[in-house]
């Protein structure tokens, strides 16, 4: 990460001759200084992906003007799906949690140490369990119970809170509820989940117990974007750990907590740094 302020441009478009030349040429003709660049051409889909970091004070205009100039000169002619963000503007991350504490604790520790340089405007939970812990950190806590009878109203309240605090993304830190299709549709590519399984295997509840019954030798965790299809969203990051016949389901749960924390934090970082580009149900991740 660069200490000086920079803009991150991430984009995808149909593959064609001259993409790099046009984008880098546009930046260069305005005196822009490219600090980092990554590119990928997908031969199967015919799609091209890129990510650039541009030194902010090398440009003669502010970000809003860059957006307008880039849109008309480059993005529209190349049919780009693109965004550009400012490193000086901290992302606002709303955390959702249920009764499992390890991912919440880990994220707040990384936030407090500024390892994750973000703002956490609030934590939302369907239980009141972690109110004291969250408020001790000076973060507002919202208890939004979810029952079989109130799901529509509950998720409307979650959406209201998210909009009220001007959230950029939601992180489901072992939030053990299935979000409504309406909430998923409202924030595509902005809700991240940690699933305690190496997806697509063992979706749904108690995946470690499913893995134990299946007799697997590897267990893992998956950070993915949330869609209306349970545990089927585009995958951002995964990791595994080896186990053997002597490990019980309880052992596997314990091992899995360490993987879950690491994978969630890593996936969130990739998302916050605009390193994840989605195409269909797959991702390109520029590490």
pLDDT in tens, the chain (287 residues): 456 999 999 999 999 999 999 999 999 999 999 999 999 999 999 999 999 999 999 999 999 999 999 999 999 999 999 999 999 999 999 999 999 999 999 999 999 999 999 999 999 999 999 999 999 999 999 999 999 999 999 999 999 999 999 999 999 999 999 999 999 999 999 999 998 877 677 777 788 788 888 888 888 899 999 999 888 899 999 999 998 999 898 898 898 899 999 999 999 999 999 999 999 999 999 99
Q: Residue 78: enclosing H or E segment and its boundaries?
A: helix 76-78
- Structural domains present in the chain: 6-86 (3.30.70.260), 93-285 (3.40.50.170)
Closest by CA to 102, choosing from 216, 186, 230, 221, is: 221
pLDDT, tens digit (0-9, with 9 covering 90-100), for 251-270: 988 988 999 999 999 999 99
Contact criterion met (CB below 8 Å) for 19 and 78: yes
Can you spell out the DSSP letters for 187-216? STT-EEEEESS-TTSS-SS-HHHHHHHHT-
Contact criterion met (CB below 8 Å) for 237 and 255: no
DSSP state of 229: S
Instruction: Provide the mean pLDDT of the chain.
Output: 94
CA dihedral 207→213→217→220, nearest 10 degrees, is 0
Amino acid 204: pLDDT: 72
Maximum CA extent, the chain: 63
Q: Hey, which residues are catalytic here?
A: 231
pLDDT, tens digit (0-9, with 9 covering 90-100), for 125-176: 999 999 999 999 999 999 999 999 999 999 999 999 999 999 999 999 999 9
Q: How many CB atoms lie within 10 A of CB 189?
A: 17
Q: Which string of b and e fits 153-165 if b means at least 16 CB within 10 Å? A: ebbebbbebbeeb
Distance between CA atoms of residues 211 and 176, nearest Å:
19
């Amino acid at each position: 990460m660069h200490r000086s302020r920079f803009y991150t441009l991430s984009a995808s478009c149909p593959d064609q001759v001259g993409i790099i030349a046009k984008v880098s040429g546009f930046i260069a003709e305005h005196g822009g200084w490219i600090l980092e660049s990554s590119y990928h051409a997908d031969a199967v889909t015919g799609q091209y992906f890129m990510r650039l970091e541009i030194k902010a004070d090398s440009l003669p205009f502010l970000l809003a003007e860059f957006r307008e100039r880039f849109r008309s000169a480059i993005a529209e002619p190349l049919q780009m799906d693109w965004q550009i963000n400012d490193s000086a503007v901290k992302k606002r991350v709303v955390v959702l949690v249920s009764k499992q504490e390890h991912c919440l604790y880990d994220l707040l520790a990384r936030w407090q140490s500024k390892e994750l340089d973000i703002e956490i405007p609030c934590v939302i939970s369907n239980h009141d369990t972690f109110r004291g812990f969250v408020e001790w950190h000076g973060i507002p806590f919202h208890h939004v119970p979810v029952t079989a009878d109130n799901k529509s109203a509950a998720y409307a309240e979650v959406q209201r809170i998210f909009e009220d605090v001007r959230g950029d993304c939601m992180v489901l830190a072992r939030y053990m509820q299935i979000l409504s299709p309406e909430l998923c549709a409202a924030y595509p590519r902005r809700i991240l989940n940690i699933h305690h399984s190496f997806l697509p295997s063992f979706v749904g509840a108690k995946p470690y117990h499913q893995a134990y019954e299946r007799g697997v030798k590897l267990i893992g965790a998956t950070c993915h974007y949330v869609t209306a299809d349970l545990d089927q969203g585009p995958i951002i990051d995964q990791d595994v750990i080896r186990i053997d016949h002597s490990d019980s389901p309880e052992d596997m749960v314990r091992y899995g907590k360490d993987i879950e924390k690491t994978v969630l934090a890593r996936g969130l970082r990739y998302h916050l740094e605009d390193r994840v580009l989605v195409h269909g149900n797959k991702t390109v991740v520029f590490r």
